[in-house]
Amino acid sequence: MSQEKMNSGITAFRNGNKKVALQIFSEIVKSDPRNETAWLWLAAGVDDIEQKEFCFTKVLEINPHNENAQKALSQIKKPLPPSFDDLVNVSSGLNGVHPETVISENKVKIQTLKCPMCGANIGLNERECSYCGSTLIVTSIEKTLSSKSDAQLLSTSANKWKSILRTDPDNPDANYALGLIYLNQKLRDVALQYLQKASLLMPDSAHVHYNLALTLFNDGSIKSDSVDYENVLKAIDYAIRLDPDFKEAKAFNHFFTARKLDKIDYSESIKEYMKAIDICPDIATFHNNLGLAYYSKKNYDLAEKSLIKAIKINPEASHTYSNLCLLYTATGKYKDGVHYGRKAVELLRPTTPAELQAFAYNNLSGCLWKANQKKEAIEMVTKAIAINPQEPSFRNNLKAYKGINVGIVLLVLFVLFFCCFLFVYYVLVYQM
């Protein structure tokens, strides 16, 4: 009976029904904790590095001489990159498919995935390479572009992948690898070209479509009625269809649904943001937008909690500091607002989308004005206009600030004139 169950799990795994397979292997080890083969299959199926380590450790407790487990465990604990020749021969490490697993004589051979930047062994759904720190699964363009990376390593990898494209321009792995490399080099527009081509060459790769979607989305700097935005939604939907267990794709699907609902009903959009957070609670963007939804409903306490949570997850997110500045301006906490507004401006990078840069300066200007720092407020909104002259609200703010200044001057002149009039009247009437 146990062998029949094992065979069922193996068949499910090979047919791509990973969820069913893992359930079967889990049931086997629960009833037979010393089943070496079941623990190996579990190790092959789980994505989380710590779970893999746990499974391989169980294998070695049962059989200390299991070479596959020994080798896999040593790679997990000390990820040393292989040669480039080894890297380019492992296509499954780049296109996001499940690692090939072969069973023979009670042993499971696991093909390890590779980082396209450095060649280190990686888990199927690792967001960052544990060896070189490069982004593998995008959750925020601003986070990727502001992260530190080994410029020399990325340059060397790019040159080697480009050498492959010179003889094979339609090599899918090389196109995808260069897309990720250029993204980590903070060259988003160039990265997009390679990711778009990779999506055509690898139509069955969930990871390619997902990373293309997040790169196109660019942290929300594209308009929701644009062709690019429609392509973002299509790519995310495609990624989920290809891999229903891809949690980041599922979470962002709820996120994009929530953004649509923001225009209709904030109560409903909040529910979708919460669903995204339930799936991936460690993605700052979800908490940031949840905070904005609460802000729009004037639920300022929950808005503050959500925005502060987003900053704890990603302390380099300038737009979240700017949103806190906006919140504190609305609640009259001008000192706090100015503090967070200045922090937002301080964190701006050349790679920060122009729209986000402009709003950071504009939001700071509004709080400065309320804090009675008029001159600097005008300077900040003038910078916002210089960055994005097409945004009418910036010019309206500037006109309002200058209009108020002119009004104050006219009022002072009127008061002085009236005082002079009273003085002259007094002299003429009472001194004559």
Mind listing the pLDDT tens digit for each residue in 10-21?
888 777 788 888
Predicted confidence at residue 11, as pLDDT, reads 81
pLDDT of residue 89: 46
Question: Cα(74)–Cα(64) distance, rounded to whole angstroms?
Answer: 13
Q: Which two tokens stand for residue 417?
A: 């004139």
Give the pLDDT score at 178.
92
**Alpha-carbon separation of residue 108 from 10, 71, 140, 166, 285 (angstroms):** 11, 12, 36, 37, 39
98 vs 155: CA distance, rounded Å: 28
Give yes or no for a contact between 180 and 207, defined as CB atoms under 8 angstroms apart. Answer: no
pLDDT tens sequence across 374-424: 888 888 888 888 888 888 887 787 788 776 554 444 444 556 666 665 555
Q: In 168-315, where does DSSP find H-type helix?
A: 172-184, 188-201, 206-217, 227-242, 247-261, 266-279, 284-296, 300-313
For the chain, residues with pLDDT lower than 50 are 1, 79-112, 406-412
**Which DSSP category does 214 fall into?**
H
CATH 1.25.40.10 fits 114-242, yes or no: yes
User: Does this model's pTM top 0.75?
Assistant: no
| Strand partners of residue 122 | 113
How far apart, in Å, are the Cα atoms of 114 and each of 84, 125, 351, 374, 383? 10, 12, 28, 55, 44
Compute the distance between CA of residue 72 and CA of residue 56 in angstroms, rounded to an integer.
8
Q: Where are the domains of the chain?
A: 114-242
CA distances from 384 to 141, 344, 367, 405 (A): 22, 13, 14, 20
- Number of helices followed by number of strands (H, E) in the chain: 22, 4
Question: Which 3-state string (H, E, C) describes 33-102?
Answer: CCCHHHHHHHHHHCCCHHHHHHHHHHHHHHCCCCHHHHHHHHHHHCCCCCCHHHHHCCCHHHHCCCCCEE
DSSP per-residue codes, 271-297: HHHHHHHHH-TT-HHHHHHHHHHHHHT
Helix (H) or strand (E) holding 103: strand 101-104
Residue 358 CA to residue 55 CA, distance in Å, equals: 50
Q: Residues with Cβ < 8 Å from 235, sequence gap 6 or more?
A: 199, 209, 210, 212, 213, 216
**In this predicted structure, what is the pLDDT of residue 47?**
76
